[in-house]
Amino acid sequence: GENVEQHPSTLSVQEGDSAVIKCTYSDSASNYFPWYKQELGKGPQLIIDIRSNVGEKKDQRIAVTLNKTAKHFSLHITETQPEDSAVYFCAASIPQGGSEKLVFGKGTKLTVNP
């Protein structure tokens, strides 16, 4: 299969709290998992990614964890700020006909309340 399920669809947190977004994928051959952030009126931008040979990756307040056995990966944002408010998309590489394509989840709208 080539589904990427993302939860929750909306998330509201208070400034300073942590936010966690979870994704699951169905193809065990998937090996690349990026996260994109889309601000209003703009195209998505890569914020962090992880490959299947790594279990966790951090970049300042953002971290991604990967559990290949369970086929799920998560985005963690600590000390959230109002500028973190955006739609976040997870994605997974899906093999197709000798190459790979990137399949996205349906997105999570994160609202950080000041």
Partner 1 sequence: KAGVTQTPRYLIKTRGQQVTLSCSPISGHRSVSWYQQTPGQGLQFLFEYFSETQRNKGNFPGRFSGRQFSNSRSEMNVSTLELGDSALYLCASSLRPSGSGGELFFGEGSRLTVL
CB of 28 to partner 1, least distance (A): 15
Among 19, 85, 105, 112, binds partner 1 (CB under 8 A): 105
| Residue choice 12, 45, 67, 81 for contact with partner 1 (CB under 8 A) | 45
C-alpha span between 37 and 44 (Å, rounded): 5
Closest CA to 85 of 1, 2, 19: 19
Q: Does 100 bind partner 1 (CB under 8 A)?
A: yes
Query: Which of 41, 53, 60, 70 contacts partner 1 by CB under 8 A?
Result: 41
Rounded Cα distance between 49 and 47, Å, is 7
Q: Going by C-beta distance under 8 Å and a sequence separation of 6 or more, which residues neighbour residue 53?
A: 31
Examine residue 28 and tell whether it contacts partner 1 (CB under 8 A).
Answer: no
Determine contact, residues 44/102, Cβ cutoff 8 Å: no
| Bridge partners (DSSP) listed for residue 19 | 77
53 to 82, contacts with partner 1 by CB under 8 A?
Answer: none
Asked if 6 touches partner 1 (CB under 8 A), the answer is yes
Q: List interacting residues with partner 1 (CB under 8 A).
A: 6, 32, 34, 36, 41-46, 49, 51, 89, 93-97, 99-107
